[in-house]
Amino acid sequence: EEKTRCSYEQKLKNAQHSVSKKLLEVALAKQSNLIASADVTTTHELLELAEKVGPHIIALKTHIDIISDFEYEKTIVPLKALAAKHQFLLMEDRKFADIGNTQELQFTSGVFRITDWADFVTSQVIGGFESLDCFNNVGVVAIIGMSSKGTLTTNEYREEALKIALSHPNVIGGVSQNQLPDEILLFTPGVNLADSGDGKGQQYNTPEHVFKNLHTDFIIVGRGIYKASNAEEAAIIYKNEGWKAYVNSLEK
Ligand code: 5FU
């Protein structure tokens, strides 16, 4: 007999970290579990996308280092204003993967100053428990398993990565293509309604699949939204499909 999944209300009641609480509150308020991945390469495209999809998402995921005309004042200041206006969080998908001291420098310095604006960041846990200590003012989503073909995140790796994630107070969740324990939020990229892959190793599943089989909490959608002819319409479709799939997964 399969147990039913943990609801957002239950997860909110047990949430320890302010960022987990905020994500779950926004999800319930907007009836959305959608994170849009803004893999665009100019400030204009980034802000335009954020304005269009903002009302329908709980977070906007960035790869801030692909923005070719990045300027803190021109890129981040208006992005933060849009996040406040439309009530979504900023998730920087930096996937830190170094020793603690270097990660701290990458997080706080350079032109991006991620520490000053991101609500939460992704990090590999390959550097061990203490490498995550520097993220003490944001939430960390640990990379447990990747969506790409041939990834080295085997069963054994995922088990060890999960031990670090579950024991570190900065960690709010994990990125994975496998179910995770209820104490941690599950973020699942590799979601697309039209395609099964991209010819570059990415592997896609549907919202229905990831909620039903992985009990995921939040879906991450990139090209399904920002490449659509109407990004707002696409965001609404993924938002509704994601919410329907979540509600159905509660009833199993
Ligand atoms: F950790 C991961 C992963 O395992 N798979 C991913 O696809 C992260 N991603 C990110 O999600 C990736 O870097 C993209 O930013 C996004 C997926 O974009 P897509 O256009 O929906 O394939």
Q: What is the CA(223)–ligand 1 centre distance, in A?
A: 9
**pLDDT value at 41 more than 80:** yes
Q: Establish whether residue 161 lines the binding site of ligand 1, counting it when its CB lies within 6 angstroms of any ligand atom.
A: no
Mutate to test the pocket of ligand 1, among 122, 220, 226 (most ligand atoms within 8 A of CB): 220
Give the residues across from 205 on adjacent strands: 191
In whole angstroms, what is the distance from residue 218 CA to residue 211 CA?
9
pLDDT of residue 48: 98
pLDDT tens digits along 167-205: 999 999 999 999 999 999 999 999 999 999 999 999 999
In whole angstroms, what is the distance from residue 136 CA to residue 187 CA?
20
pLDDT of residue 3: 62
Token digits for 70? 């990045």
pLDDT of residue 4: 80
pTM of the model: 0.98
Task: Give backbone dihedrals phi and psi of 83, rounded to 5 degrees, phi first.
Answer: -65, -40
Question: Which is higher by pLDDT, 250 or 4?
Answer: 250
pLDDT tens digits along 106-155: 999 999 999 999 999 999 999 999 999 999 999 999 999 999 999 999 99
Q: Establish whether residue 54 lines the binding site of ligand 1, counting it when its CB lies within 6 angstroms of any ligand atom.
A: no
**pLDDT value at 1 more than 50:** no
pLDDT of residue 2: 58
Give the catalytic positions in this structure.
93, 95, 98
